[in-house]
Structure 1
Amino acid sequence: MHQAGRERSVVGCPFNGVGVARGSADVVRDRQRNTLARPDGRVNSSIVSAVRDAVNDSDCVVALGGGADSAVLLWAACEVLGPERIEAVFVFHDLEGSEMLRDSAGALAAQLRVRLMVFDRPISDGGNLEARARTERYDAMEALLVDGRLGLTGHTADDQAETIVMRMFRGSGSGGLSGIPSARGAWRRPLLDMSRSTLRETAIELHLPFSDDPANEDKRFVRSRVRHIIMPTIERELGPESKSNVARSGALLGADDALLQRQANLVPTVRFPGGVSIPIGAIVSAPRPVASRVVRNALHLLMKDAKSSQNDVDAVLKVANGSKGITISNGFIVTPERPFVTIHATSHSTNQLTETHRGQEEIEIEVGSTFEWFGSEYTVTRHPISGRYRTGGRFTVLSSEAVQPPTSARNLGNGDRIDTGHGSTPLTELLRVTGVPARVRRTSLVVTVSGKVAALGGIRVASWAAPRHGQPAVVIKREYTQ
């Protein structure tokens, strides 16, 4: 672990050792306008506008690192929402400079009258330190992002360019080269168009306390070498606009990647405990960039935090195109089970899977509810006019009149049949004809009304439960969870 060395504090507004701001008379609160303003009334409108667009009037949790970027971010968030709707978070890693950065964060929060939460997450010195520290920070904040709250981070245009350059030398595809997303899930990064120097000048102008993180000067870290060696060389040799050009290229690649990802998301996957199945026809017929993303989606569902490699993706695609089964990273096995290619854990035998399938409880569902079924999330909504959605893939569409309490979701049962209007058909036969692998048929979603089978999820709706054209319908939709 780093020992606390000699700390040099660079602050826009001097503060004492316990984090209480001095000189804050230069920053006053205008109660009538509920905004922070300097006596001369000047504010950086572009920064405030960027934060306002990002938060969309949602309460926020702001990540404070003790530096100038996050200091300006917190100030702008106070401008937009007021301090009472904001919570600031500092994660203490007990590394060199951590105490200095914590004091700066405390002084800033006191000056802006924002509640500050400090999480102790010591990080031991060693390999992959930056990534481990980053994971700890995000994990600490994730627990606070509830009830519609957004998480704000102070990433800048410089961070964006550095990230893209780092990923380029690691051989990333368009997804990685698109850089840091401005929005993902509950996270927002409103300062990605702002330069680090502009934010530093703003912090000084507004008398906001901040300190420089010694880790940013530590050449052991790849990002530090990119920041202080590679980026200055690029700007010196190719011109000062080269940094912004890198970020612009990332944005263009991001748009392309988003389109390819949307195409990949249209391919349904069948999840079961310990594995996932992908339709072979869908990935064989798709362009390679789309097929690769379909496979990555499936691998992410299985491996979660463990990373898959391009070699894993290539292996799955080879099996889909006729090669024999193969073992990939983390002990997962890829096998052809036509018309699917299945990726599953070695520890799950067919018998074990069957027993797990039988363990899923019956769930009562209603319009407006959300429920989880074997790792996939489903939403139940009412639509005024049927016809927009049809049963198939992710969607199961029923007549609004037919969906009456008690309506439930449950496993496939022995002897289950569905009314076709001209008799009935066993659900097992429908699953076989549709091509659902035998190992995952028990995970199929069966919707019942008063105990009677109303639908086989994404495949068939009973004749008596089918919506009539132009009449209200209830849509059960499987959401994408990757």
Structure 2
Amino acid sequence: MGGALDPAVATGRNLVRAALADLGPGSRLVIGVSGGADSLALAAVTGFVADRASYEVTAVIVDHQLQPGSAAVAAVAAEQIHELGMEAEIIAVDVGRHGGPEAAARRARHEALRRSMPDAVLLGHTLDDQAETVLLGLGRGSGPRSIAGMSPADGITRRPLLALRRVDTERICRAHGLSWWNDPHNADPAYRRSRIRTELMPVLEDVLGGGVAEALARTADQVRADGAWLDELAAAVEAPLDVPTLLALPPAVRSRTLRRTALQAGADGSALTSTHLAEIDRLVTSWHGQRRIELPGGLACVRLGDSLSYVRTPVAG
């Protein structure tokens, strides 16, 4: 890179530096790389920061083996990572079907990225991805948790580029001489997120006069902050299965308390919906003798007297 530093590159570096501020020298980083502009841009700016902060960094390219030529795409991505002066590892995964193709691919990818037990996993989600996630949540009617979108930090997962637009990551790639792959799935109308990206967002931007993606991302930040505080209140409830205690809680705290107890009991968090929680809530607030609510994950919530409990659901023979 010669001449003046591209502002998008400078911003990207600063975002990565801030996202990793809690990590010391020698910390091991994994960057999830697909070959697209977002992940390649993340690798480019992270490599710069890692070199100066003495982090150990590896780019992991996950080959989902779902499209013809995926191995070649992974190989090209690895070559560009090597040109940036970083290690690259290609991991081929077998994607299952549980929860739908997108959810299954996401689970397989996350398992591959965590295989080496790094201190942080960096993902290249952008502000555009965040806006699309919020709209998907609104469409499902899944409540504030889905409208809150993706968190910048979730355990070891870091998403440093959530404040950047997709066009900014393309600028970063061009500044580093990187060529990115355009996933055909991103324009495939069979995928709801693709239609949001190519059809709905342009209409919203036109009708509402621009700035829609930024507004949706700001909404996600605000809802996430409120939700985090309510989750803290729910975690502090001392008798979370006691019906009188639950009745005394504000509905927003009670819902989060019930969700927390269900997850602790073993409910499948990826399939646990607001509908399930509403039915459990009825065991507390509108009990007419109903005794069990079936939950995803082979679990049921049961009311006996003034107490809730969770029991395993027998498997049909």
What are the within-5 Å matches in structure 2 for residues 196-207 of structure 1?
A: 196-207=166-177
Structure 2 residue 34 is matched with structure 1 residue 65: yes
Q: Distance in 1 between matches of 2:60 and 2:213?
A: 30
Q: Distance in 2 between matches of 1:345 and 1:166?
A: 32
Any unmatched runs of 5+ in structure 2?
Answer: none
Q: For each residue in 1:298-346, what CA deviation from the matched residue of structure 2 results, as whole angstroms up to 9, or x when unmatched? A: 1122114552232321222222344431231245333334553112114
What are the within-5 Å matches in structure 2 for residues 62-211 of structure 1?
A: 62-82=31-51, 85-96=56-67, 98-123=70-95, 128-146=100-118, 149-211=119-181
Q: Distance in 1 between matches of 2:152 and 2:262?
A: 25
Alpha-carbon spacing, 1:306–1:218, altered in 2? closer, same or farther (3 Å):
closer
Q: Distance in 1 between matches of 2:226 and 2:14?
A: 27
Structure 2 residue 211 is matched with structure 1 residue 246: no
Deviates further, 190-199 or 252-261: 252-261
Measure how far apart 1:66 and its partner are.
0.4
Q: Amino acid of the residue matched to residue 161 of structure 2?
A: L
Q: Amino acid of the residue matched to residue 289 of structure 1?
A: A
Measure how far apart 1:125 and its partner are.
8.9
Q: Distance in 2 between matches of 1:246 and 1:332?
A: 35
Q: Distance in 2 between matches of 1:220 and 1:106?
A: 29
- In the alignment, what sits opposite 1:232? 202
Measure how far apart 1:139 and its partner are.
1.1
- Out of 295, 309, 312, the position equivalent to 1:329 is 295
Structure 2 residue 292 is matched with structure 1 residue 292: no
Aligned length: 302
Structure 2 residue 272 is matched with structure 1 residue 308: yes
Measure how far apart 1:134 and its partner are.
1.2
Measure how far apart 1:122 and its partner are.
3.7
Q: Distance in 1 between matches of 2:212 and 2:17?
A: 29
Q: Distance in 2 between matches of 1:242 and 1:178?
A: 16
**Does the 8 Å contact 2:267/2:295 carry over to 1?**
no
Indicate the SS of the match to 2:241.
strand
What are the within-5 Å matches in structure 2 for residues 244-393 of structure 1?
A: 244-268=214-238, 278-301=241-264, 302-305=266-269, 307-321=271-285, 322-324=287-289, 325-330=291-296, 331-347=298-314
Q: Distance in 2 between matches of 1:207 and 1:167?
A: 36
The Cα RMSD (Å) is 2.3
- Which structure dedicates a bigger proportion of its chain to helix? 2
Any unmatched runs of 5+ in structure 1?
Answer: 1-37, 270-276, 349-482
Measure how far apart 1:108 and its partner are.
1.6
**Does the 8 Å contact 2:280/2:293 carry over to 1?**
no
Indicate the SS of the match to 1:101.
helix
**Does the 8 Å contact 2:243/2:306 carry over to 1?**
yes
- Which structure dedicates a bigger proportion of its chain to strand? 1
Alpha-carbon spacing, 1:308–1:41, altered in 2? closer, same or farther (3 Å):
same
**Does the 8 Å contact 1:93/1:120 carry over to 2?**
yes
Identical-residue share of aligned pairs (%): 26
**Does the 8 Å contact 2:78/2:89 carry over to 1?**
no
**Does the 8 Å contact 1:89/1:116 carry over to 2?**
yes
Greater relative CO (CA pairs within 8 A, separation 6+): 2
Alpha-carbon spacing, 1:240–1:311, altered in 2? closer, same or farther (3 Å):
closer
